[in-house]
């Protein structure tokens, strides 16, 4: 579905098959679903960077304690 000027639309295509399928159908219907783009938006990129920074801060080694006996 997509929205244009406040009206929602569903886009689909009905196509005739070359021959009947095993269930006797002669036509089929295709519709397109939303696919996220390969190029992230600025918000997605910022969110990803934020998550990456949080992971890095968690992975920082703890300060070594000086409790060695020698």
In a domain, 9, yes or no: yes
Q: In this predicted structure, what is the pLDDT of residue 11?
A: 85
Range of the domain at 2: 1-33
Give me 40's structure tokens: 């992230």
What residues have CB less than 8 Å from 14, skipping those under 6 apart? 27, 28, 29
In a domain, 6, yes or no: yes
Total number of domains constituting the chain: 1
pTM of the model: 0.38
- What 3-state class would DSSP assign to 40? coil
In a domain, 7, yes or no: yes
| Per-residue pLDDT tens digits of the chain, which is 70 residues long | 778 898 888 888 999 999 999 999 999 998 876 665 566 667 777 787 787 777 666 555 556 666 767 6
CA angle 26, 32, 34 (to 5 degrees): 160
Q: In this predicted structure, what is the pLDDT of residue 36?
A: 55
């Amino acid at each position: 579905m997509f929205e244009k000027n406040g009206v929602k639309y569903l886009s689909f295509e009905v196509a005739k098959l070359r021959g009947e399928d095993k269930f006797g159908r002669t036509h089929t219907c295709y519709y397109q679903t939303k696919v996220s783009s390969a190029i992230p938006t600025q918000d997605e990129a910022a969110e990803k960077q934020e998550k990456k920074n949080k992971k890095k801060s968690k992975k920082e080694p703890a300060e070594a304690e000086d409790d060695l006996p020698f």
